[in-house]
């Protein structure tokens, strides 16, 4: 797993606006899923964003790769967060709200 940290600053005031921690997994295959709980846990779930990046040199593999990544994420979340916890319910509600055509007016 690769780790990077990005600091967003407002240059005129030299003020830090945000610090982003970026974790990158090269594959949903073992041994990498075992590393995911280090960055995605019950404590960090509501402040996290998962982005899946696919290789455009092999677009015919998109569906298979997405299924693999999603299955891995579901398994890690089930093990680390639990199926019916407040955090997971809140994360689902936020996702549904953001995908609403009214965007954020839930």
Q: Domain for residue 105, yes or no?
A: no
Residue 63: predicted pLDDT? 95
Distance CA 19, CA 93 (A): 25
pLDDT-above-90 percentage for the chain: 22
pLDDT in tens, 72-91: 988 888 888 877 788 888 88
Q: Domain for residue 106, yes or no?
A: no
Residue 64: predicted pLDDT? 95
Residues 51-74, mean pLDDT to the nearest whole number: 92
Q: Domain for residue 80, yes or no?
A: yes
Q: Domain for residue 104, yes or no?
A: no
- Containing structural domain, residue 20: 2-98
Q: Domain for residue 21, yes or no?
A: yes
Residues 39-66, mean pLDDT to the nearest whole number: 89
Q: Domain for residue 103, yes or no?
A: no
Structural domain total, the chain: 1
pLDDT band at 45 (very low <50, low <70, confident <90, very high): confident
pLDDT in tens, 12-28: 777 888 888 899 999 89
User: Model pTM greater than 0.85?
Assistant: no
Q: Domain for residue 45, yes or no?
A: yes
CA dihedral 25, 26, 30, 35 (to 10 degrees): -20
């Amino acid at each position: 797993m690769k780790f990077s940290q990005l600091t967003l600053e407002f240059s005129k005031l030299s003020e830090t606006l945000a610090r982003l921690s970026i974790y990158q997994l090269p594959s949903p295959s073992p041994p990498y899923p075992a590393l995911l709980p280090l960055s995605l846990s019950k404590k960090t779930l509501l402040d996290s964003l998962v982005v899946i990046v696919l290789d455009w040199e092999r677009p015919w593999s998109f569906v298979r790769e997405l299924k693999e990544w999603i299955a891995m994420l579901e398994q890690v979340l089930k093990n680390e967060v639990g199926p019916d916890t407040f955090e997971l319910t809140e994360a689902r509600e936020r996702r549904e709200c953001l995908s609403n055509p009214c965007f954020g007016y839930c």
